[in-house]
Structure 1
Amino acid sequence: MRVVLASCAALPKGDGDEDALVEALQRDGVDVVWQPWGEPVDADLVVLRATWDYTERLDEFLAWCEGVPALANPVPVVRWNTDKSYLVELAGRGVPVVPTAVVVPGEIPDFPDGEFVVKPAIGAGSRGAARFTGHAEALAHLEALGVKALVQPYQSSVDAHGETALVFFAGEYSHSFHKGPMLAQGLAESESGLYVEEELRGIEPDRRQVELANQALDVAAELLSLRRQDFLYARVDVVAGADGEPLLLELELTEPTLGFKHTGEDAASRLSAAIRGTASR
């Protein structure tokens, strides 16, 4: 069995988080290699991982995905999930989501009271995300982005408690990790140019967070006419709202960091098993 982990030219072998996964796949007898996206690929399964420059070349990226014989997650998932407007769809189906307004270029949004976040609707690694209180500065940022964007009230709980990322493989819960706050006032800083550095550590989610994550996955699968197990991997990012109840910040189904560095080696083995099951279908 041959599996390709898709990356990008700037990080041809990822950022190191997948090292444990490569080792697990090799132990399980899989011929696994890294390959930057964009070129023809020959494999039983291509797994999107560190493809983090696609945001500037989305049409090209989606066309390449369409040409891959077997892709995980599947192309309809990638097409839907690379535009964060999906949050509005999930909210419309009853998923508790951080309130989200979609703003097209030239539109003047009705900004939330207090602090709020502006970020590209098509983006990865928190690039282009910024936190504001002033409307003039936010409008200038929207103009500078020049693309469809999201406006969301900033959840102040993140400053004290950060985010919880819950990871699922083939629809089943695997592990979680904690993400520290990244957005000070103004634009998030990216040293690599591809993603904003995050402070991560393993964490155990509470019951309400797990319930929200399961609800988000169930609704996403229904929207896409898929089964939960059709999502080879999923990362559900959750924050606490003003009342302490969990809210969905993002449902990452395309190329999320999965936090292997911050959990036991069993997690990599679980994804290896899921990859082998998907590739053999």
Structure 2
Amino acid sequence: MGRIDEFLAWAEATARVTRLWNPAPLVRWNSDKSYLLDLAGRGVPVVPTRCIAPGDSYGEEDFEGTHGVVVKPSVSAGARDTARYEPGRGADAERHARVLLGEGRTVMVQPYLPLVEEGERALGGPATEAELRAALAAVPSPDEPLFARVDLVLDEAREPVLIELELIEPNLFLGLDPRGADRLALAVAAAAREA
């Protein structure tokens, strides 16, 4: 998301002349993955996440994990500038973080959860309604978003944790659920009638 400021300015300008299904303040909040810290503060189980902003102090221990770590910018799309580092490669992970910080970007460091190899559980997948509702209920908005993709992975205790809550992601993986496209169309139609 190399043009995030332009995108957010567009969302805010568009919201002044028409209705966005997911409102501009929610789009702004969701554009920086540090929203995971907000959700964790509201009781949603999330992948443990350490955010390091330019100028923050950090240590070698921030880049070590039992199964390695994942280092990524807090503003990114499509896993751009994201890398996994195996155990013992903390120095490489720290070097990656220094590059991102040097570009003025906030860095997220998360432990690598090996059960991610079984696959993420998304809105169209086998995630339970309760898990989805808990994540959506914690979104800082008076209204529930019209659409969302809730990505969950299993932690080492095989408990689901949120890895991403995508409210501006264009890929909702509607093909994973035979009724997905119809449900989205019905939701858009209902929202249009209310507008």
Report the Cα offset of residue 255 of structure 1: 1.8
Report the Cα offset of residue 112 of structure 1: 4.1
- SS in structure 2 at match of 1:96: coil
Cα separation, 1, equivalents of 2:114 and 2:170: 24
Cα separation, 1, equivalents of 2:180 and 2:136: 19
- SS in structure 2 at match of 1:157: helix
Q: Please say if residues 233 and 253 of structure 1, whose CA atoms lie closer than 8 Å, have aligned partners that are also in contact.
A: yes
Report the Cα offset of residue 139 of structure 1: 1.7
**In the TM superposition, what are the counterparts of 1:90-169 in structure 2 within 5 Å?**
90-107=39-56, 108-109=58-59, 110-114=62-66, 115-132=68-85, 133=87, 134-145=89-100, 146=103, 147-159=105-117, 161-166=118-123
Q: Among 143, 146, 168, which residue is 1:227 paired with?
A: 143
Runs (5+) with no aligned partner, structure 1: 1-54, 167-175, 178-203
TM-score by length of 2: 0.86
Residue type of the partner of 2:188?
I
- Quickly say closer, same or farther: Cα 1:72–1:112, change in 2 above 3 A: farther
- Quickly say closer, same or farther: Cα 1:82–1:155, change in 2 above 3 A: same
Cα separation, 1, equivalents of 2:192 and 2:150: 24
Q: Please say if residues 112 and 152 of structure 1, whose CA atoms lie closer than 8 Å, have aligned partners that are also in contact.
A: no
Residue type of the partner of 2:137?
D
Q: Tell me the equivalent position of 1:37.
A: none
Q: Tell me the equivalent position of 2:181.
A: 268
Report the Cα offset of residue 143 of structure 1: 2.4
Higher helix share: 2
Cα deviations across residues 47-90 of structure 1 (Å, max 9, x unaligned)? xxxxxxxx111111111111112212110110000011110111
Say how many residue pairs are matched. 182
Runs (5+) with no aligned partner, structure 2: none
TM-score by length of 1: 0.61
Cα deviations across residues 257-281 of structure 1 (Å, max 9, x unaligned)? 11123331x3212211211222331
Q: Among 130, 135, 138, which residue is 1:216 paired with?
A: 135
Report the Cα offset of residue 256 of structure 1: 4.1
Q: Please say if residues 241 and 247 of structure 1, whose CA atoms lie closer than 8 Å, have aligned partners that are also in contact.
A: yes
Cα deviations across residues 158-186 of structure 1 (Å, max 9, x unaligned)? 12x111111xxxxxxxxx13xxxxxxxxx
Identity over aligned residues, as a percent? 45
Q: Tell me the equivalent position of 2:161.
A: 247
Cα separation, 2, equivalents of 1:128 and 1:238: 21
Cα separation, 1, equivalents of 2:134 and 2:182: 25
